[in-house]
Structure 1
Amino acid sequence: MAPDNSLENRDSDITASDLVKLASKIGPKLFDRRHTSSKNRCLPKDTIDDLKESKVLRACMPKRFGGFELPFGAHTDVAMELAKSCGSTAWVSGIIGSHNWWLGKYQPEAQFEVWENDPDAIVGAAFAHKQGTKGTKTKGGYLVSGRWMWCSGSAHCDWVSLMTPIIKENLPPELAMIIVPKEDYQIEDVWYSPGMRGSGSNDILIDEKFVPEHRITKLADLNKKDSPGCSLNTGPVYKLPMLDVFGYSVAIPTLGCAIATHNHYLSEMTGRVGLDSAKILEFQSQQLRAAESSMEIDAALEIYRSDLCKMWNAAENNRELKPHELNKFKRNCAYVATLARRSATRIIEAMGATGIADSNPAYTSFSDTIAGASHRALSWDINGTIWGKEMFGLNKNESEVDRRMAPKEKHN
């Protein structure tokens, strides 16, 4: 699907459409490697090299470090295109592309440390962490220990950004994102999943490593219009709140996988015949399933495009997004993933036994859709409830940062 041209940065030498075309060019190679990615539960180095060489990961990265600083959504349009060939590559691309955006909101010194000598540095991230994970104040920074889960693309990361409860004497813990170089953490290989197998979403372990003050940015600050990084990067894309719009960075690769499932289905059914030699595509049941699944995809795309326009309008006008707008974005994003899951499931059910063969690319894309839609940011139970409370006037003005604090972390 081509990106909405109205969202392109006209002052940039490269547009979102250009990056989508570059993603399309490397697609055949990614498709050929998809079994290797799945078998190894990790993207091949050649795939990472292709992403770097094409520069598609730089869509929303600050211009001063070699990025294109395009509107939010350029990186997800790239991921949606990549999903036609390999869901795991699309997932990692969408996530790493979002990190290249939100790192532009971090402390300026941290940005220079990561990018000044290597604009192709891969920055992974993990939000979920085990109890006991913490950063404790010490001279010049913090001593950090803990375990973080589901760091996608972990094997290829040069740095990781980790959500961490920061402990200060006589004060409640405060969530922050810390930046850690690869020599300061270990990767535990735990990623065994029927979908997104090649994403390599493993655990990150740290045992009392020192993290200097400049590599730590409060989560609440990253969710503000004027974050610490805005003193360095003044473009409108860095005015958007990190947590409240991030969900589309995983929703759209997921939607791309549903689109791929639908495309593979149409291709396979075109020449398929039943036991009575009747053409399968002439069955009304198949036609109805194809129609309804395509409707769900189109509806999801409309929701996504509409939200991007609203986000960008606010960012360009330097307007603070209101809580009810942010809650609606989260609702919409989760529903996009819900529509993607429904579409892909309906298609696989229509394909019979051939639809669940590991060798069938439709099944791979379906499994990737289900895995992607399982991300916490895309949970309809969580995000639908937030909007339901909004409708009944039951929201207590909790921010997304407040919701991220587990009860034990709030009261310890």
Structure 2
Amino acid sequence: MAAIDNLLPEIRDRAQATEDLRRLPDETVKALDDVGFFTLLQPQQWGGLQCDPALFFEATRRLASVCGSTGWVSSIVGVHNWHLALFDQRAQEEVWGEDPSTRISSSYAPMGAGVVVDGGYLVNGSWNWSSGCDHASWTFVGGPVIKDGRPVDFGSFLIPRSEYEIKDVWYVVGLRGTGSNTLVVKDVFVPRHRFLSYKAMNDHTAGGLATNSAPVYKMPWGTMHPTTISAPIVGMAYGAYAAHVEHQGKRVRAAFAVEKAKDDPFAKVRIAEAASDIDAAWRQLIGNVSDEYALLAAGKGFRSNCAPVRAATRCAPPVAQSPRSTGCSRRPVPPRCPMRLRFNGSGATRTPVGCTPPTTPSGHT
């Protein structure tokens, strides 16, 4: 974690450049590679650390606190090593056999499908929101398996970069630096060993468990995927809070006898409430992950799914309050103002289905 902390100043300095570039800078990805970030959830057989997932999510939270896009992409691309570990050993060898540092992007939304053919599937579709795809050599795309015109399964197809097109469409307001472009797949054959059913993950019959049996690979998809999204969201909230406190510390309120905003008792209450809400969100989120991991390591059952979503939604009010508290909602804000960057990034995180309150908590078990 010390190595991650040492990276934070340079990642913070590149935050605006990351948004302007509309993807992570190559220097940022190399720096993350150099400190071993992407090995955190990778199996030991491929040189990884297969660590406690709480450590991985803590790292993504810290990265997101200084650059939302970097935290977002790091979390999503980083968790794909956990996902690939559940695939058949042959798929792992295809991706990591020559280069264990190979990265994978994804788009799990069912925007295409695979039709059953001899030996595998014929995949077609156009998948939006593939964060970090410019830095990946493979991708996971989600969708149903179609046989005789009907869906018979649902899962992820693993496809190499040479067999899909990246469409540059990511022109957005928040999290521009994630480079979440669209992947187009046309008549691509995917062998059976490069498909993983969500059912197999949920009932612990995934082929990769035969060679990767550490407790981390028994964590439920319903925890790992939503937390992958929620951890950087909470990190961005911490970053917005820090930017707000820094801004308030310099602000002078001319209407109140040149009183410093930081001395306003009402402002202090709002700041304290925001800090409390964000801390509570993180404690709930990381506590859920830690508890589940401990139970799995002990061979016991668990409950999952609700905490990641609740943690993400808890962070929205304190971040939304920041512009009103600082006066930014009533006056022009410079385009490169840190407060604008934090606010836009945090707002953009409310759209993924994994963080949608009306739907996801219903899966709580």
| TM-score normalised by length of structure 1 | 0.84
Contact 1:224 1:240 in 2 (8 A): no
Q: 1:297 offset after TM fit, Å?
A: 1.0
| Matching residue of 1:28 | 9
CA contact (8 A) 1:355 1:362 kept: no
Q: Which residue does the alignment assign to 1:145?
A: 124
Pairing 1:340–2:305 present: no
Please give the alpha-carbon distance, in whole angstroms, between the structure 1 residues aligned to 2:229 and 2:220: 16
Summarize the alignment of residues 3-22 of structure 1 with structure 2, pairs less than 5 Å apart.
20-22=1-3
Superimposed CA distance per residue, residues 63-85 of structure 1 (whole angstroms, 9 cap, x where no aligned partner): 11011110122221111111222
Aligned-partner Cα distance in 1 for 2:147–2:139: 23
The match for 2:107 is 126
Distance 2:223 2:247 in 1: 39
SS at the partner of 2:9? helix
Q: Tell me if structure 1 keeps the 8 A contact 2:88–2:194.
A: yes
* Structure (1 or 2) with the greater strand fraction: 2
C-alpha deviation, 1:356, in angstroms: 4.4
Distance in 2 (CA, whole Å) between partners of 1:122 and 1:309 is 26
1:174 aligns with one of 133, 153, 171: 153
Q: What is the one-letter code of the residue matched to 2:194?
A: R
Aligned-residue identity in percent: 27
Residue in structure 2 matching 1:272, options 229, 239, 251: 251
CA displacement at 1:204 relative to structure 2: 0.7
Please say if 1:52 is aligned against 2:33: yes
Aligned to 1:69, what secondary structure does the other structure show?
Answer: coil
Say whether 1:359 aligns with 2:333.
no
Structure 2 runs not aligned, ≥5 long: none
1:225 shift after superposition: 3.0
1:88 maps to amino acid = S
Count, aligned residues: 361
**Map 1:126-275 → 2, pairs under 5 A:** 126-130=107-111, 133-169=112-148, 172-275=151-254
Question: How far apart, CA to CA, are the structure 2 residues paired with 1:331 and 1:153?
Answer: 27
Structure 1 residue 110 and structure 2 residue 91: aligned? yes
Partner AA of 2:90 in structure 1: E
Separation in structure 2 between the aligned mates of residue 357 and residue 285 of structure 1, nearest angstrom: 26
SS in 2 for 1:380: coil
CA distance in 2, matches of 1:226, 1:215: 15
SS at structure 2 position matched to 1:381: coil
1:96 corresponds to which residue?
77
Deviation at 1:355, TM superposition (A): 8.7
> What CA distance in whole angstroms lies between the structure 1 residues aligned with 2:55 and 2:348?
23
- Normalised by the size of structure 2, how large is the TM-score? 0.94
Given that 1:355 and 1:363 are in contact with CA atoms closer than 8 Å, whether structure 2 keeps it comes out as no
What is the root-mean-square deviation of aligned Cα atoms in Å? Answer: 1.7
Q: Deviation per CA, 1:5-43, whole angstroms, max 9, x where unpaired?
A: xxxxxxxxxxxxxxx221121122212222221112111
- The superposition leaves residues 165-187 of structure 1 with CA deviations (integer Å, 9 ceiling, x where unpaired) of 11123753311211101000001
Contact 1:348 1:356 in 2 (8 A): no
Give me the whole-angstrom Cα distance separating, in 1, the residues matched to 2:109 and 2:143. Answer: 9
Contact 1:223–1:244 (CA<8 Å) still a contact in 2? no
Alignment gaps of 5+ in structure 1:
1-19, 391-412
Deviation per CA, 1:333-359: give whole Å up to 9, x if none.
111111111121122221112794432
Decide whether the 8 Å contact of 1:89 with 1:198 is kept in 2.
Answer: yes
Amino acid at match of 1:210: F
Task: Output one character per residue of 1:46-101: Cα deviation in whole Å (capped at 9) or x when no partner.
Answer: 11111111111211111110111101222211111112221100000111111111
Relative to structure 1, is the Cα distance of residues 149 and 261 closer, same or farther in structure 2, using a 3 angstrom cutoff? same
Q: Secondary structure at the match of 1:173?
A: strand
- Verify the 8 A CA contact 1:124 1:157 in the aligned structure 2: yes
Question: Aligned partner of 1:123: which letter?
Answer: I
- Find the counterpart in structure 2 of residue 402 from structure 1: none
Q: Quick check: 1:304 aligned with 2:281?
A: no
Partner residue in 2 for 1:8: none
Which residue of 2 is the match for residue 373 of structure 1?
350
Distance 1:375 1:178 in 2: 20
Please give the per-residue CA displacement for 1:168-222, whole angstroms capped at 9, x wherever unaligned: 2375331121110100000111212211110011111001011111111112112
